[in-house]
A = this chain, B = another copy of it.
Amino acid sequence: MKNSDYKVKADAKYLAKEILLRLKLMFPGHEGVMPLHSPVFHERSEELVIDCIRSTFVSSAGSCVTLFEEEVAKACDTEFCVSTVSGTAALQLAMRVSGVEPGHESLMPSLTFVATPNAASYLGAIPHFVDVDPQTLAMDPEVLRQHLMRCSTYRNGKLFNKKTNRQISSILAVHVFGHPADMRGLRAIADEFELRLIEDAAGALGTELEGRRVGSFGDLGVLSFNGNKLITTGGGGAIVTNSHDLADTARHLSTTAKKSHRWSFVHDQIGYNFRMPSLNAALGLSQIENLGDLLTAKRRIATHYHEYFKNFDEGSVLEQPKNSNSNYWLNNIVLDHSQGNICEKTIQELNYMGINARPIWTPMHYLEIYRNCPRTSLPITESIANKIISLPSSPYLSEYF
């Protein structure tokens, strides 16, 4: 071990202790491991799930699915919602109904969960990575615009990547940690280049931008209800949209593209078995009733983080973008530097201490499977990826102060 390694290890220990100290002060009386994000259930959750079981309609034919979809649409300021078995399925479905075809390229950040490029891959499309804005951690509209001006051209009214000769048909904007991307900027580019715009709002349910809920800015928005999200259905996801046609097509494709008939089996497209089961929707329904309270709790916790980390010397709490009201799904420290892999070492120390901290995702272009995808230069992505520590943000923590 070199001297500098000892130094970083000592620094990591110091940083972890500084963070732990603040967490102890922030949430006095909290005992045991502090998870990154736990869901909250009430008696109502048990009631609705039992009602669902007693009805015997636990699969997608059950009534809870439609009720849950109505509530999700409302929560996203959209007219329609189509629920799915996962956020990944919702992403794939959103891209499919957006006209993403095999051999197309989809513009998206490299700084995202692997489900985003995977959804493109499932359709035979190729992710095309774009750098992010250091404030939002989401795709930088100006970088995207400059890149498209340079690398793309129109052929028969369609946008093509000049270098790969592949059609570019969609932009996938990802809202990171609940904070909104610059949707006004991205919408302008989508319109200018005639691209479909999809919002990957997996962790951003309830987040507002300029007074409007995210999910409603793109042609389609995508949500996740995985166990670590603000609201969970066990596993699940949804598409939200204001387009009647897109919603209809998504719903049709999500139910094996079976033509509506009481007993016959005619399927007019290669569809999916993606519809959320009623059992899961019942759980979701019990929680989304509570969305307002959950958002209040999450924002209180975020304010708390800001207060207690004001005097933190080695980094700062990630702020929500201007004109936004984030759901603060996860609270994060952005370290001032990333020398000696200090970020990962600090996360390791924190986990030893019972604090389930974690880094941001490994950028997609670092993974072997997406190494050769087309991309902009990615300086912000590469710099920020080694500086972020996500910290415990469960809604229940609001009861500790």
Contacts and interface: CB of A to CB of B under 8 A. Distances in A.
11 contacts: A46-B53, A50-B50, A57-B227, A87-B273, A89-B273, A114-B258, A227-B277, A262-B351, A265-B361, A267-B367, A277-B280
**Interface size class for chain A?**
35 or more
B53 A41 contact: yes
Contacts of A53: 41, 45-46, 49, 283
Nearest to A45: B53
B85 A56 contact: no
Contact of A228 (B39, B59, B276): B59
Contacts of A39: 56, 58
Contacts of A85: 85-86, 89, 235
Interface in A46-68: 46, 49-50, 53-54, 56-62
User: Could you tell me the dominant secondary structure of chain A's interface residues?
Assistant: loop
Contact of A88 (B87, B268, B273, B361): B273
Contacts of A49: 49-50, 53, 279
A271 B58 CA distance: 28
A307 to B, nearest CB: 26
Contacts of A56: 38-39, 41
Nearest to A279: B234
Contact of A59 (B54, B226, B264): B226
Contacts of A236: 277
Can you tell how many copies of this chain the complex includes? 2
Interface in A307-340: none
A153 interface: no
Interface string A245-288: 00000000000101000111111111111011111100100000
B41 A272 contact: no
A368 B268 contact: yes
B272 A283 contact: no
B58 A347 contact: no
Contacts of A232: 58-59
A61 B89 CA distance: 19
A263 B258 CA distance: 41
